[in-house]
Structure 1
């Protein structure tokens, strides 16, 4: 199965599909658009029309005219001088996402690169040949794509079929010759926002999965702590206008339908702690941020982010040399998403603390099987608190970092790619936090003094975890269990909720979705949680 870049731009889910291994193909009309734009560049070169990065230097050297004979050198040298990334390389999925976004950008037909160059990137994707792309060193968008593009000219390093080799060696094995770059191609290869857009698409995918887990793990903690299910009453939640809140409330009701534990807790308290009763509000707000961020990423994929942009006809070529390569909107979106995820995870740690604290949980201290000689989840909560603090640091807005580069020519920086990298880091930390909460919630079920039955959904999830991890008795390193739970959350979504429920679409709308029923129908109010009287 392949993703086809046709007359329509790719969306973020298609970018993720390619990142995760699907092939990417160029349609005939996409090739035609790319070829037409190249003809415009050829006319600009032939007529000596002044165009940034085509026949001038770049950055602060934009007023230095480059002769036609030197334009190949300019393109080639841009790759060499801009490949300045540092640190460990990105993963294969992240690099493929960037490459997919770059191909999508060129397929708009406004950059002026040759079809052969775009096809070279497609060929690397199809072969599973992944360039080494150092993760850090970019204030915007330059270094990541430069390291990818090095392979096209027979430089750089790649990993292919588990073997690390030079770009030149990889091309030989693939039966390909290094490309000699022509006018503007070097600049277009490093320009625009493909790096942040590709990474942002992955951030959306991973955040969406995390939020699905967040709802159901929170439901397990809520059930263990005997929460007041009125917090998820549809009539009550309708007073606040938020698609995300309504969606989360519906999911919580679906997850907790038929809970004997909650039925026996009705009326125990007037209201619960905020980490329990604001689950729809906080998780819902985060889903609203996710929907907005998805719209921004899709708009970015539908936009030409290059400088300069070419348009017009071969008879009257036009050059637009402005700032479409700057990713202010997507930087702000990634900063917002990181903060939203961090807040959801911070509240998870508060519920975890309640689970291990016997003063509020009515459970054995720290969920230990025997007090005194066993510490249970005491120190696991420390780990979660540490990750929450790290998230707080990572969630500081990258888009406000600023800075001055290129001899005052580029004196406002949005740090879009670092914003996406930080969002990915926050999501990974949060997966670990929810993994710990999941383990604690399952352990709490084992120690639950209330003999009421669990909801069918939470019972199914409990059994899924216990199918691979036995009750914790301080009999093995807890870190190993935490790693298993982390992969359970990061690698796949949770079991489907009782349905039909509504599934959020990142555009901010909602559609009906049929899911596998796990329990009874969704209750309309807290009263529906009460046991049905029999024989009266």
Structure 2
């Protein structure tokens, strides 16, 4: 069942669902709004009403008048001159996300494109015939959508059924002809904030999944390091007002319920180190940022982000040539989310360091076989430390980069799309850090000296890890295990804990079951692996079985 753009704008979850492969449809009302907005542009052209990018040049050429006979050429030339992206192409999910966000914007009915243009983008999405879009080169928007729009006119390249094709050849295979753009359509195709909103929807989906993983992996480390459960006491946590903190506290109590290991060490320490006792505070703060980012993104998707915007009636058309295409709010939100995830990953590395450090862990040095010939997880912690440092560099706010373009006409830039791109990179790095912590925590269980059972929930995740990789004995490249663990995190979810429920759309948003299933492939809503029988040669308790 398709995601339908109807009277209501799409929310972030629906955008992510289409990015994962769900088809997109325009309702009759959305189609009518698009057609009505085109009529406004035609009246603007016929009456000679000055409108930026319709009958004028763009950027610093905004005061140069373009005659009606040249307006087709202007639209085409805008795509050619704005298709200036560089670097490796975006992935399929990223490209689909940007395209569906663009269609959502046009469906507001204030962009002035013909219905045929919106239908062309929908057809490419649903055929999974995806334009080749270089990742870099944007200070806010423009270049990504220019590369997408090239395919609509038979230019550029696509990836279709595993092949790289010229845009014209791909259209022919789909039974479509290249479009000839009319007045304003070139500008509408590159304008607005679909690049950042599409990428931001993916960032939210991936960050939400990562936070779910990080909670349960942190619980494994907490148990192995014999933390004091008082850190998650509900009455104590209630003294600090934070929905995220409250939720994470509940999740940690659930994950560690009935832990024999923790029962055996109650009261042995007055206070745990901060990387253990602040799990609800730090993870909870990140969840609060996630919820705030979702609100900003949904507002952005509900907003009209063209320049110019067409409004009014055919009898009295109006043109608003202002700054709605500037995505300052979503740029700030992406910078905030990136910082939050970078902090989560940094604390995961601190827990990892405690697991491998014999001075504080109570476990064999570096979780290695004894005797000095094995290094165990010594250098894996180096990798995590390197990724934390990389995240720290990436977390510098893109929204403060500034710059000047277009001959001083555009003398303030907020770099919204770069903010989303680096947030995605930080989330990816964080997933790798948490994957290393997951492997180390599983190894620590195998070497645990306390002969007591693990919590059922952490034991279930340990089982899943051991179904995928055996205990590590320096007998194979550890990088291969790290890749397997990262794919577990990137493609699936841990055993379920209480659902956050604070950023998902409500029942009125009517995301279909099929959309949820499609999104599972992207965000890992469905569990990966099974939680069945205990792996051989282990009794499910905390005793070491390394020999």
- For Structure 1 versus Structure 2, the TM-score category normalised by the shorter chain is over 0.9
8 A contact 2:13–2:504 mirrored in 1: no
Superposed CA deviations along residues 442-480 of structure 1, whole A, max 9, x for unmatched, are 000000000011000001110011011100000000000
The structure 1 segments of at least 4 consecutive aligned residues displaced by more than 6 Å after TM superposition are 507-510
User: 1-side partners of 2:289 and 2:20: how far apart?
Assistant: 24
TM-score with structure 1 setting the length: 0.94
Cα distance in 2 for residues equivalent to 1:180 and 1:502: 49
| Rounded Cα–Cα distance in structure 2 between residues aligned with 1:237 and 1:397 | 31
Counterpart contact for 1:192–1:306, Cα < 8 Å: yes
Q: What corresponds to 1:440 in structure 2?
A: 440
1:22-44 CA deviation, whole Å, 9 max, x = no partner?
00000000000000000000000
Equivalent residue number for residue 500 of structure 2: 503
Distance across 2 between alignment mates of 1:85 and 1:502: 39
What TM-score comes out, normalization by structure 2 length? 0.92
In 1, distance between residues paired with 2:491 and 2:139?
Answer: 30
**Gap runs ≥5 in structure 1:** 519-536
Q: 1:502 to 1:160 in 2, by over 3 A?
A: closer
Q: Spell out, residue by residue over 1:110-154, the C-alpha distance to the aligned partner (whole angstroms, 9 max, x if none).
A: 000000000000000111101000000000100000000000000
Is 2:100 the counterpart of 1:89? no
After TM superposition, give the deviation of residue 5 of structure 1 in Å: 0.4
**CA 1:209–1:507 in structure 2 vs 1: closer, same or farther (change >3 Å)?**
closer
Deviation, 1:502, is 4.7
Query: Does residue 355 of the first structure (1) align with residue 355 of the second (2)?
Result: yes
CA contact (8 A) 2:355 2:440 kept: yes
Conserved? CA contact 2:87–2:135, under 8 Å = yes
Counterparts of 1:293-304 in structure 2, within 5 Å, are 293-304=293-304
Is the Cα contact below 8 Å between 2:13 and 2:505 reproduced in 1?
no
Task: After superposing the two structures, state which structure 1 stretch, 216-225 or 367-376, moved more.
Answer: 367-376
Cα offset for 1:507? 7.0
Counterpart of 2:48? 48
Structure 2 counterpart of 1:12:
12
Superposed counterparts of 1:210-225, under 5 Å:
210-225=210-225
Q: CA deviation at 1:508?
A: 11
d(CA) in 1 for partners of 2:94, 2:486: 19
C-alpha distance in structure 1 between counterparts of 2:287 and 2:505, whole Å: 9
Alignment partner, residue 266 of structure 2: 266
Deviation at 1:504, TM superposition (A): 2.9
Secondary structure, aligned partner of 1:319: strand
Match of 1:532 in 2: none
Following superposition, the deviation at residue 495 of structure 1 comes to 1.4
Match of 1:368 in 2: 368
The aligned counterpart of 2:151 is 151
8 Å contact from structure 1 (residues 288, 508) kept in 2 = no
1:329 equivalent in alignment to 2:326:
no
Q: What number of residue pairs does the alignment pair up?
A: 510
Matching residue of 2:65: 65
Once the two structures are superposed, the pairs formed by residues 268-417 of structure 1 within 5 Å of their partners are: 268-417=268-417
Across the aligned residues of Structure 1 and Structure 2, the Cα RMSD in angstroms comes to 1.4
The worse-fitting range, judged by mean Cα deviation, of 363-372 and 473-482 is: 363-372
2:97 pairs with 1:116: no
SS in structure 2 of the partner of residue 265 of structure 1 = coil
Paired residues of 1:291 and 1:508 also in contact (CA < 8 A): no
Q: Against the structure 1 CA distance between its residues 173 and 507, is the aligned structure 2 distance closer, same or farther, given a 3 Å change threshold?
A: closer
Q: Is the 8 A contact 1:232 1:252 kept in 2?
A: yes
Deviation string 1:339-378 (CA, Å, 9 cap, x unpaired) is 0000000000000000000110000000002230000000
- Name the structure 2 match of 1:523: none
Deviation string for 1:81-134 (max 9, x for gaps)? 000000000000000000000000000000000000000000001111010000
What do the CA deviations read for 1:216-268 (whole angstroms, capped 9, x no partner)?
Answer: 00000000000001000000000000000000000000000000000111111
Gaps of 5+ in 2: 508-525, 532-547
Output the CA distance in 1 between the equivalents of 2:425 and 2:268.
40
How far residue 509 of structure 1 moved from its aligned partner, in angstroms, is: 10
Q: Superposed, which structure 2 residues align to 1:97-246 within 5 Å?
A: 97-246=97-246
Q: Does 1:427 align with 2:424?
A: no
Match of 1:522 in 2: none
